[in-house]
Homo-oligomer: A and B are copies of this chain.
């Protein structure tokens, strides 16, 4: 066998580059492709059956390249296998509808979940699997390596050096896997600079790793996904936030944590400098975060609560604030933030003591899921954050205490002492339209049947959940010793849902006596004090003010 048979990938890359060169002629200057030739570039570079990563992140979207991909001729380019984090844009599904792609591996589909379900059941695409982000990145280096990556950056120079600005997000993981496996990397950029006259603010991705740069006709889309208007936080959410702070954060001394998206967690962030301060907790909890730059965290940062925040991605409008608070956020010498979803997910998995997030359904085992009928939504980072990191070996007081509670009295392998991650599900017992959050059976089971998945799409498994927090109280599942106790602990905080009404009142009182269930009054919390006045900011305007005018919310959040 000659050596050339072992370098087929590099040969294929050369052929792709040559095809692009032939197809584009003068429209290609070095690595720079004319904006109007983006689809031609893709047609030249792509091959039938390619694995393609079209950068769709939680925030940043390679939307112009998405358009270009939708614009290729399906007769020529088809059967693509899309491997991308997020399906956020209509174009992400148009490629399946148009017959350009037919396979999909992904992490999160958010707003496209219902359409994705329709396309899947119509047989227009075959879903390989739904992943947690870090898991998908991991497979980029094993068995889902992209042949072509279509990514987005803020700016490039003519060599192909890329500046991503604060929204670095998934880009390094995607590009590294593709560039070092004979693949082709194409970047859309908002701005092209001439390195002879202008330096990029910094280099986020070296030019060697990038094959083509296409100036986009408009800046890439960024979704302000983590912005929550404090005006919409309810007093029940304030009460639940008080319980989280006093009953969990203070109880375990949680210093390193991640918050899921939502008003529940925004309420916690906004109570730190008020309620948290009144409990004397400053410096004792919440100093280190793996978190996107949530605007709701501004008052806590300004009050000196926060030492560091490492971010998966950025948040629109926070750019100047990040720059002015570089001690707290990871920023480059140029002053702008560097986010990195891969490292931040690793931080969430291995360096955080607590994850708290919301869900749509919880069953009697504590399994929870946001998968509901008619939607294939995925879970993003939640499974990674919301799983005990069993490889972890460093101790912290919070982790040790949780582990001790979980192991006490257990025998055998399960009794071997170790720590445990705190995984909290925070939910009101009824969601919108009085849909109960507690159910006998998750929709996930029906979804599995309908779609032929190997397993029901459960977001966080019950044996990884340590606490369930509702307006009725906190259930500490770590202390439960039998399935029956666990079930009653869950029923005991499930309020007036059918699940809650089905409780064994006597057993629930017994669990309360043992501290497994704790009501607000058990925690010394007076629900009458749970008013919106406790929020350190009660409107978007308050947040802007707290930031000294540095935070500049997107227009749709401005109502003043």
Contacts and interface: CB of A to CB of B under 8 A. Distances in A.
A142 B288 contact: yes
A3, A134, A383, A386, most chain B CB atoms within 10 A: A134
Interface string A381-424: 00111111111111100001000000000011110111100000
A45 interface: no
A324 interface: yes
A332 B389 CA distance: 33
A320 to B, nearest CB: 11
Nearest to A339: B180
Nearest to A457: B393
B390 A332 contact: no
Interface in A150-186: 161, 173, 176-177, 179-182
Interface in A1-51: 1, 3, 6-10, 13
B390 A324 contact: no
A455 interface: yes
Nearest to A206: B203
A430 interface: no
A206, A352, A384, A487, most chain B CB atoms within 10 A: A206
Contacts of A394: 105, 128-131, 135, 139
Copies of this chain? 2
Nearest to A200: B208
B141 A310 contact: yes
B326 A416 contact: no
Contacts of A455: 395, 400, 417-419
A392 B367 CA distance: 15
Contact of A141 (B173, B204, B327, B347): B347
Query: Contact residue range for chain A?
Result: 35 or more
A400 B453 CA distance: 12
Given A6-B326, A351-B141, A413-B461, A132 B393 contact: yes
Nearest to A482: B412
Nearest to A181: B330
Nearest to A13: B333
A56 interface: no
A179 B332 contact: yes
Contacts of A512: none
Interface string A111-141: 0000000000000000011111011011101
B139 A343 contact: no
A316 B207 CA distance: 28
A135 B391 contact: yes
A417 B335 CA distance: 47
A395 B483 contact: no
B327 A182 contact: yes
A145 interface: yes
Given A142-B288, A288-B142, A350 B134 contact: yes
B332 A208 contact: yes
Contacts of A340: 176
A246 to B, nearest CB: 23
Interface string A188-205: 000000000000001110
A256 interface: yes
Nearest to A336: B180
Contacts of A3: 324
29 contacts: A1-B302, A6-B327, A129-B393, A135-B389, A135-B391, A135-B393, A138-B343, A138-B349, A141-B310, A141-B343, A141-B347, A142-B288, A142-B308, A143-B287, A176-B340, A180-B338, A182-B326, A203-B208, A208-B333, A342-B343, A349-B391, A365-B412, A367-B413, A387-B391, A390-B461, A412-B487, A413-B486, A416-B462, A418-B461
